[in-house]
Amino acid sequence: GAVVSQHPSRVICKSGTSVKIECRSLDFQATTMFWYRQFPKQSLMLMATSNEGSKATYEQGVEKDKFLINHASLTLSTLTVTSAHPEDSSFYICSAKDEEREWETQYFGPGTRLLVL
């Protein structure tokens, strides 16, 4: 089956630093990738839709200058949390859409746990 990887799986950083999270589709091409954030005991919250070769589309309330998204190839999207603060500590999950499937399918990555001190 389709596999999506994320790196790193967990990261601890100091307040004010930037953190880059990678999302890769390992055995299929993904024109579209999605970035989610999940706080404990809450649902996944869509942050942005990443489109290969074009600018990402951000959901309302998500700062595009703080959460930089780059979808440079059909298998890789990156999310950079700039000038991270403790309130950015969360579980970040990406998913990739397999365009070849008959019905809309998203494959989810394992998530990246970010802790900002």
Partner 1 sequence: GQNIDQPTEMTATEGAIVQINCTYQTSGFNGLFWYQQHAGEAPTFLSYNVLDGLEEKGRFSSFLSRSKGYSYLLLKELQMKDSASYLCAIMDSNYQLIWGAGTKLIIKP
Q: Which chain residues interact with partner 1 by CB under 8 A? A: 1-2, 9-10, 34, 36, 41-46, 93, 103-108, 110-111, 113
CB 83 → partner 1: shortest distance, Å?
Answer: 26
CB 99 → partner 1: shortest distance, Å?
Answer: 14
Q: Read off the tokens for 57.
A: 């589309």
102 and 94 Cβ atoms separated by less than 8 Å:
no
Which residues does 16 contact at the CB level (< 8 Å), separation at least 6?
83, 84, 85
Rounded to an integer, what distance in angstroms lies between the CA atom of residue 25 and that of residue 83?
27
CB 16 → partner 1: shortest distance, Å?
Answer: 25
Closer to partner 1 by CB, 29 or 105: give it: 105
